[in-house]
Structure 1
Amino acid sequence: MTPSLSELTVLVTGGGRGLGAAIARAFAREGARVAINYRNSRQAAEGLAAELGSRTAAFGADVTRPEEVAHMVAQIADRFGPPDVLVHNALADFAFNGDARTPLDRLTWADLARQMETAVGGALCCLQALRPHFAARGFGRVITIGTNLMQNPVVPYHDYIAAKGALLAFTRSAARDLGPLGVTVNMVSGGLLRVTDASAATPPAVFDLIAAQTPLGRVTTPEEMADAVLFFASPWARAITGQNLIVDGGLVCG
């Protein structure tokens, strides 16, 4: 039988702030054991863990470094048992500020590689560390975080969008590879969220413009995005894998 959310141990990468913190709170609300990963945001991650209680703890690791990820997974296993769920939310430092973005004529491969190292490389490191645990249990849930800018690059953040597009491709290929182990791998893609650390640099007028173009008439919140992540970890999504669910109030389709 597929376990309920309250029976799961969940690893949220980049979980100390922003969307990651909202995801950690959502799983904790449902009674799951939550491992909050951080790289630089130790104080925020430990504060969040203290707020959420004894079934939550913070674990430091750079998800692009296999040895750090392996050590983190071992620590989580000692505290809560091996993670059943990976939510790969970690993001290389980024600010959604169209005026400050790197335009195409000044973009370098290093700009793209920096984003891909965390988005795709981080997912790879985490999956390789967790695969033996998934195989031993015959169960696992992986949820990656994407963006609706892949469908509608209204602001061309080339490095960020390219990395998320590559992560979607990796999500789908990993779903094929891990499916025989009882593991589903899906992506949840949000639009501009009101408000995270990354979107704090976005001018208010941009939020208003997006809200006006969205069928629901408002900008999606981190909490609404987090609830969609819960769905993919829940028993109700047990037959869904390799999919990309766009959670943006209907702004884009497909």
Structure 2
Amino acid sequence: MQHSANTLNQQLVLITGGGRGLGEHLVNAFLREGAKVVINYLHSAEAANAVAANYPNQALAVQADVTDVRAVQAMFRHAKKHFGQAISTVVNNALPSFSFNGDARERGMQISWGSMQNQFEGVVKGALNTTQAAIPDMQGAGFGRIINVGTNLFQNPVVPYHDYTAAKAALLSLTRTLSQDLGPDQITVNMVSGGLLRTTDASSATPEAVFDYIAQNTPLRRVITPAEFADATLFFASPWSRSVTGQNLVVDGGLVKN
């Protein structure tokens, strides 16, 4: 039996870190397709509430630290009460504070375990918290979509951001093991991995020479935009991906062949 939530306009989608940067583009993509969207934010209250105000019946901005399991569970309860339906799709996009500036990165001799731990807490623990909060209602519905935001840097570490890349690689591993675990409940778990995006808050510190280098080495000869990345993410929430799970889709203009 096809579940009604297969169609995007029937879904309630949680997007973590949805107030700004890539998250804002993800929010707009799902809203455009008619989905109801929970815009999770940590600090970007003004931006998140501004988007929600433009879609009063479709969007809800909720402040929560995804590393705080109680805050995450409260957000899920609030969303379910507000919309009268459970969250059916989770997009794990939230990122601990990070600036993509290769000149200022911590190199191998300098990187601290604290930096690594900070990324693992935000990326892996955050995704685990939201996934675990979503599972009971997804199991009850016999339908669920978990979409994790990754990076092409662990396949092509042109700039070695050790902490960020290690955390995203761990998230890919979690994507695969969760897909195996949750598959019998008809919950799919996939990853969408971008490269350098032109431009988000995180990539605003990236030197222009790096953008040029990436563009020259990419088959499409250009750097992908956040909106293009967001469009590709819709696939894993759509009926067209209903038999796809445990996969990592690289959206970077063909720079990395996955």
TM-score class, shorter: over 0.9
C-alpha deviation, 1:50, in angstroms: 1.4
Query: For each residue in 1:96-146, what CA deviation from the matched residue of structure 2 results, as whole angstroms up to 9, or x when unmatched?
Result: 001111111011111111001111100111111111111110100010000
Aligned residue number for residue 148 of structure 2: 144
Return the alpha-carbon distance in structure 1 between the equivalents of residues 11 and 110 of structure 2. Answer: 45
Return the alpha-carbon distance in structure 1 between the equivalents of residues 22 and 230 of structure 2. Answer: 7
Return the alpha-carbon distance in structure 1 between the equivalents of residues 51 and 20 of structure 2. Answer: 8
Aligned residue number for residue 222 of structure 1: 226
In structure 2, stretches of 5+ residues that fail to align are: none
Return the alpha-carbon distance in structure 2 between the equivalents of residues 60 and 24 of structure 1. Answer: 15
C-alpha deviation, 1:53, in angstroms: 3.8
SS at match of 1:94: coil
> In the alignment, which of 131, 134, 138 is matched to residue 130 of structure 1?
134
C-alpha deviation, 1:40, in angstroms: 0.9
**Corresponding position: 1:45 with 2:28:** no
Aligned residue number for residue 166 of structure 2: 162
Aligned residue number for residue 21 of structure 2: 18
> Counterparts in 2 of 1:68-79, with a 5 A limit?
68-79=71-82
SS at match of 2:190: strand
Return the alpha-carbon distance in structure 1 between the equivalents of residues 76 and 249 of structure 2. Answer: 27
Query: For each residue in 1:186-229, what CA deviation from the matched residue of structure 2 results, as whole angstroms up to 9, or x when unmatched?
Result: 00000000000000000111111111110001000111110111
> In the alignment, which of 201, 204, 208 is matched to residue 200 of structure 1?
204
Aligned residue number for residue 61 of structure 2: 58
Contact 1:25 1:52 in 2 (8 A): no
C-alpha deviation, 1:44, in angstroms: 1.0
C-alpha deviation, 1:183, in angstroms: 0.2
Contact 1:69 1:125 in 2 (8 A): yes
> In the alignment, which of 60, 79, 92 is matched to residue 96 of structure 2?
92
Return the alpha-carbon distance in structure 2 between the equivalents of residues 224 and 79 of structure 1. Answer: 30
**Corresponding position: 1:240 with 2:241:** no
In structure 1, stretches of 5+ residues that fail to align are: none
Return the alpha-carbon distance in structure 1 between the equivalents of residues 105 and 247 of structure 2. Answer: 29
Query: For each residue in 1:46-101, what CA deviation from the matched residue of structure 2 results, as whole angstroms up to 9, or x when unmatched?
Result: 11111334211100100001000000000000112211000000000001001111
Aligned residues between the structures: 254
Return the alpha-carbon distance in structure 1 between the equivalents of residues 49 and 178 of structure 2. Answer: 31
Return the alpha-carbon distance in structure 1 between the equivalents of residues 125 and 226 of structure 2. Answer: 24
Return the alpha-carbon distance in structure 1 between the equivalents of residues 108 and 51 of structure 2. Answer: 38
Return the alpha-carbon distance in structure 2 between the equivalents of residues 128 and 146 of structure 1. Answer: 19
Return the alpha-carbon distance in structure 1 between the equivalents of residues 96 and 65 of structure 2. Answer: 10
AA aligned to 1:249 is G
Return the alpha-carbon distance in structure 1 between the equivalents of residues 51 and 118 of structure 2. Answer: 27
- Percent sequence identity over aligned pairs: 55
Contact 1:66 1:125 in 2 (8 A): yes
**Corresponding position: 1:191 with 2:195:** yes
Taking structure 2 as the reference length, what is the TM-score of the superposition?
Answer: 0.97
Contact 1:143 1:188 in 2 (8 A): yes
Return the alpha-carbon distance in structure 2 between the equivalents of residues 46 and 204 of structure 1. Answer: 32
- CA, structure 1 residues 212+52, in 2 after alignment: closer, same or farther (shift >3 Å)? farther
Aligned residue number for residue 34 of structure 2: 31
> In the alignment, which of 106, 112, 118 is matched to residue 116 of structure 2?
112
Contact 1:4 1:235 in 2 (8 A): yes
